[in-house]
Amino acid sequence: MTDANATRRLANAIRALAMDAVEKANSGHPGMPMGMADVATVLFTKVLKYDASAPFWPDRDRFILSAGHGSMLLYALLHLTGSKEMTIDELKRFRQVGSRTPGHPERGHTESVETTTGPLGAGISNAVGLALAERILAAQYPTITDHRTFAICSDGDLMEGVSQEAIAIAGHYKLSRLVFLYDDNSISIDGDTSLSDSVDQIKRFEACGWNAVRIDGHDPEAIEAALKATENADKPTLIACKTVIGFGAPKKAGTEKAHGSPLGAEEIAGARKALGWDYPPFEIPEDVRSAWAEAGLRGRAARKEWESRFEAIEPAVRDDYERRLHGDLPADFAATMTAYRAKLYAAPKEVATRKAGEAALEVVSTALPELVSGSADLTPSNNTLTKNMTVIRPGAYGGTFMHWGIREHGMAGAINGLAIHGGLLPVGSTFLVFSDYCRPPLRLAALMGLRVVQVFTHDSIGVGEDGPTHQPVEHLASLRAIPNLNVFRPCDQIETAEAWELAVSSKTRPSVLALTRQNLPQLRLEETAENLSAKGAYELAAADGPAKVSLFATGSEVSLAIEAKAKLDAAGLPTRVVSAPCLDLFFDQPGSYRAEVIGTAPVKIAIEAAIRQGWDAIIGSDGGFVGMSSFGESGPYKEVYAKFGITVDGVTELATRLAASAA
Amino acid sequence: MTDANATRRLANAIRALAMDAVEKANSGHPGMPMGMADVATVLFTKVLKYDASAPFWPDRDRFILSAGHGSMLLYALLHLTGSKEMTIDELKRFRQVGSRTPGHPERGHTESVETTTGPLGAGISNAVGLALAERILAAQYPTITDHRTFAICSDGDLMEGVSQEAIAIAGHYKLSRLVFLYDDNSISIDGDTSLSDSVDQIKRFEACGWNAVRIDGHDPEAIEAALKATENADKPTLIACKTVIGFGAPKKAGTEKAHGSPLGAEEIAGARKALGWDYPPFEIPEDVRSAWAEAGLRGRAARKEWESRFEAIEPAVRDDYERRLHGDLPADFAATMTAYRAKLYAAPKEVATRKAGEAALEVVSTALPELVSGSADLTPSNNTLTKNMTVIRPGAYGGTFMHWGIREHGMAGAINGLAIHGGLLPVGSTFLVFSDYCRPPLRLAALMGLRVVQVFTHDSIGVGEDGPTHQPVEHLASLRAIPNLNVFRPCDQIETAEAWELAVSSKTRPSVLALTRQNLPQLRLEETAENLSAKGAYELAAADGPAKVSLFATGSEVSLAIEAKAKLDAAGLPTRVVSAPCLDLFFDQPGSYRAEVIGTAPVKIAIEAAIRQGWDAIIGSDGGFVGMSSFGESGPYKEVYAKFGITVDGVTELATRLAASAA
């Protein structure tokens, strides 16, 4: 058998498993695995540094299936190369509740799945982050970091806008150890891609600083040659692989009919014949099984060699590397943050929380060498480049701050990649209103349980003159709506320091820090050992006697609540104030704690310069609300607050009115 | 004075007004207007078909300031060309509450502002829609449609991912009457764009099917020549204008210091000297004023000529054109929809709401020739291409359906452009989970009050096997959070038809239709003349006697509520069911109606296969909720529903428990 024929036979095992699993599930996408089987086979049998027995080996090459709908390609590869978890039974349970083989690959759910993909563009932007992570870690740990990142992507990946952000970042930063294998099959769900697309991808990638070639994706020699040519590249590489979707299927190959549904018994029988694959469903002949098993061991020698290099490095460095890989914090980190808060208590000040955030970030990033900060071109506004950081530049990766350009979506996708890689703790930043641009990757960070931190400054109508296009109103609610995401909105420099501590300590949940543009007074003046923000909400100021009014507020509106309390107290309405820096954490608390914080005052009012949605859970549907119900307006911020009635008088008048009707 | 010098003098008027207004406001962006003043002056004085006295003349050329932070460029142009509303006093009130000169241009708020810009990438994607609208209308009204679209864009616009989607659409569809004037000043907020970018934009645009040239943006002759060269282009054109940000400012020009803050008195004095502009702030010398006033009249002859052509067309066609421009519906439209519902009542059926939506859309689009449908490459899944539609193709624009490609963000930006243009009613579609990709333009549609309709199918864990990446959980809440947006989630084919009627009737509010993948029984069986969805929620099934339990549900969960009611009734707990197809409309109703619908049953339970956020406003913080609190899971949809307890038994058990504790 020629080498090419042998490769084809291995690839046909993938094709058969994909057809069979989709058929059994009566749901799924056979076309892509069948089309890209040859490319994937060459990659896994000749190129990828991969050891199926050690899926988490840190210096493995990373393989990302950005075209996540072709999940059976990945599951078949894992099964054939000998992943313990990926048994033939799991393939038979494709797309069933509780299986290891969900419709789209899910990191954390299935071993050896590097990242969760499916939403198009996500995988390739993660891949850019993975390739960047390797360069950053290579600068920090040169003797033990030396791997590459390969991503299979589809027409859809390259049509999504985030692809442009991702490839522009990769090209600019010269991530030469990154390779995209583009499944250039000219078919999407609607039909031929010529229905909606005529982009010259080779030229486009070249314009963005990539090497780009087009090959026959069914020619094993061409695939291998193209992959080998990337080994010493000085730029990232696009290999556009011309393939036939559903390769082998007699009638559906090359059409959208092969994309997203089972082929059917007749077509599968025809494909088996065309491919010369005479085995029953889910059966792999011994020669094929053993050849694949061998491929699964290809990286073993490299891994053993890496392990001896790892053992050779200084124990303290090795321990810190392992600590970072596990996402643990240094043993003295909590003490560092307590000491920092003590310093803040000793010198109270009025400061914007974005500035307070900068100061806290300086402490945090000094303590955590794994922290990589960055901004989507709002560095001087987000205040996320602190004095101790140095800037990462193309070819010079020994820094801790990324200028991402005006690319919020690409940034968020890439920092997911930094987190996925291991060993790094990524921080992104932009304006809160532009969090909308990065919701898809933020959702995936929450779904995967990644420790990423997004600093979203300019967090309300307090933005002022820039007007409604730049004033978030619905964003706090819509971010709180995402499961497994903590949204912090601290009220002063103490809560800001607490939020930073909680965010970087959150191993399996991403965090958002919503910070103000405008100055806020320090409200936390009594030193506490406890991080009061940890429970999400707490009584900041008690009433003098049984409370008639409870005020609940976050961020910039807490000081307004405190001022209103003074007036209401004076007017004979004993008032307490609850600061709620993180509603997500508060709703996670036991019912008894929640009831205690919510309290029993007859009047409950929430104050937040944003929409009411979500607050009824605390104040009740009959509670009072001082906030927004429309978009904002351009003007000096105090005038904008006044225009929308978010003022001390607005609160006291509402409280007085509600107290009168409650009496 | 040479022609170039005369142009420079007119441009200096823009520069001076921009410097002065930003200085007076002590806030704003002087650098971009100063940099692009020469380009804008040539455009407005030599090329643009524009009549300042008739800002809404339908066949005017469209001018879009995608780099919306440079709003003073636009405001200065409007003032100088004689816009009645844009007085010098308004320029002096730049960025003040209540002025016509907000920080970023706002459509609807300021006459002659075609679209709201500021969030980068938005304007250029709108511009693609505007250019497409012109072609579609030219196919329908050839004698009265003949104009072009010009957009000024920035480095930031071209770094945002949506730019790739927009330019790929424009290139593919050969929108040759579209011109981007790229302010190629190599400066962004963080500093030189070389910090984060090295894309060859000329090559990139060429790869996407555009003509692309680079010129000196301060050379009036070069600007004019480049613009004239676009007149008979067969492709859209990028003119990259090399400019100096803050042109004229002695120290800050060419640096990020000129971008986003007042220049300061000293720098302004220096700029006045360098530019040879010896006039006090806000003063325009008579020669400049009269030259600009003349430019404001340039399009008048063309407009008059257009008006006579318009008068010449058939009165019925003319009336329909005007009706469409005003966003009115045909006089018989309501009757058409009532008749359609009667047909549905006559033949009840079990059908997925995406299929019911397709049937309703066929009726709606047959009645409304202005409707332009489309899908982001999910046409066979979204069911938005109905039998009566024909597909729009490059060079053949006489259709009513767009294949947008896998470009949700670009689609949503472009359909905003279709709506902004006038005369069209755009409909987009994708999966609900991917609404995240198009939040930024959806927010702008709401802010502008545009009549656009987004059909978001596959609206819950009912997606089934595709798993959590494709199962929306937080999206209903996060879309409801956007002010001035109606989110419909109909429960059967009747409510789906009602939702369609309401969506296309909504002149100043965009709509989302969240539709199921899976079949739903018909629940509305008694014919009503009234569109019951119009008030957002209504009692679908009354209790037999005083209700002990109220069940509130939307979409696919309403049938579940109805089934639970039967069981609870039988168990001695009289139960009523409220269907709530549009919570946004429900919250707009008078308190008395809301109270009546919410009712006084001791047990209130909301059922929605999504998160709870927002429902407490109806059921109270002590109400019961059957829905999601995490991401979903891959599997056959009924099993996924069962796994998360969203079942009839789940509802009846919770109701029984709550009734027992309430008793």
Could you tell me if A576 and A600 are in contact, meaning their C-beta atoms sit under 8 angstroms apart?
A: no
- Give the mean pLDDT of chain A: 97
Pairing of strands B486-488, B511-515: parallel
Instruction: Encode pLDDT of A73-102 as tens digits.
Output: 999 999 999 999 999 999 999 999 999 999
Half-sphere exposure of B295 (CA within 13 A, CB side): 25
pLDDT for res B65 = 98
Is residue B29 marked as binding?
Answer: yes
Is residue B470 a known part of a binding site? Answer: yes
The answer to whether A102 contacts B633, with C-beta atoms less than 8 Å apart, is yes
Q: Is the pLDDT of residue A283 over 70?
A: yes
**Partners of residue B164 in chain A, C-beta under 8 Å:** 161, 163-164
Return all residues near A580 (Cβ < 8 A) that are at least 6 apart.
Answer: A536, A537, A552, A553, A554, A586, A618
Residues 6+ apart with CB under 8 A from A79: A17, A86, A87, A88, A90, A91
Does the beta-carbon distance from B197 to A28 stay under 8 Å?
no
Share of chain A above pLDDT 70, in %: 100
What's the average model confidence in pLDDT over A260-265?
Answer: 96
User: Distance (Å) from the C-alpha of residue B37 to the closest C-alpha of chain A?
Assistant: 21
CA distances from A271 to A12, A19, A31, A525, B273 (A): 10, 9, 12, 74, 78
Candidate from A99, A208, A444 with C-beta closest to B204: A208
Binding-site residue positions of A for thiamine diphosphate: 69, 118-120, 156, 185, 259, 434
Residue A663 has pLDDT above 90, yes or no: no
Residue pLDDT, tens place only, A442-492:
999 999 999 999 999 999 999 999 999 999 999 999 999 999 999 999 999
Annotated binding site of A for substrate: 29, 259, 354, 381, 458, 466, 470, 517
**Cα dihedral across residues A575, A581, A583, A587: positive or negative:** negative
CB atoms within 10 A of CB A529: 8
Closest CA to B370 of B133, B608, B31, B651: B133
The DSSP symbol for B141 reads: S
Q: What is the pLDDT of residue A1?
A: 67
Look at residue A2 and tell me whether its pLDDT is greater than 90. no
pLDDT above 70: residue A496: yes
Q: Does A469 sit within 8 Å of B196, measured CB to CB? A: no
Helix (H) and strand (E) counts in chain B: 26, 20
Name which of B117, B380, B484 is nearest A189 (Cβ-Cβ): B380
Alpha-carbon torsion angle A426, A432, A436, A439, nearest 10: 30
pLDDT value of residue B662:
85
Q: Which of the following is catalytic: B23, B160, B408, B557?
A: B408
Closest-CA distance of chain A to residue B528, Å: 31
Cα separation, A286 vs B351, whole angstroms: 48
Phi, psi (degrees; rounded to nearest 5) at B376: -85, 65
Residues of chain B with pLDDT under 70: 1
CB contact under 8 A, B444 and A469: yes
Please give the pLDDT value at position B2. 81
Best residue in B478, B633, B643, B646 for a mutation probing chain A (most A CBs within 10 Å): B478
Q: Which amino acid is at B199?
A: V
Cβ contact B116–A437 (<8 Å): no
Query: Best residue in A186, A457, A478 to probe B by mutation, most B CBs within 10 Å?
Result: A478
Mean pLDDT over residues A622-645, rounded? Answer: 98
Query: Which of A168, A375, A480 has its CB closest to that of B613?
Result: A480
Separation of alpha carbons A563 and A567, rounded Å: 7
Q: Which of B560, B639, B571 is nearest to B605 (CA)?
A: B560
Quick check: A118 and B470 CB within 8 A?
A: yes
Residue A415's nearest CA partner among A390, A450, A463 is: A450
Interatomic CA distance for residues B208 and A203, integer angstroms: 9
Euclidean distance between CA atoms B654 and B198, whole angstroms = 59
Which of B25, B406, B636 has its CB closest to that of A160?
B406
Asked whether the beta carbons of residue B483 and residue A631 sit closer than 8 angstroms, the reply is yes
CA–CA gap between residue A373 and residue A358 (Å, rounded) = 11
Give me the total of CB pairs closer than 8 Å, taking one residue from chain A and one from chain B: 349
Q: What digits encode the pLDDT tens for the residues B63-89?
A: 999 999 999 999 999 999 999 999 999
ipTM over 0.85: yes
- Contact status, residue A131 vs residue A169, Cβ threshold 8 Å: no
- Decide: B480 and B554 in contact? Cβ < 8 Å: no
pLDDT of residue B46: 97
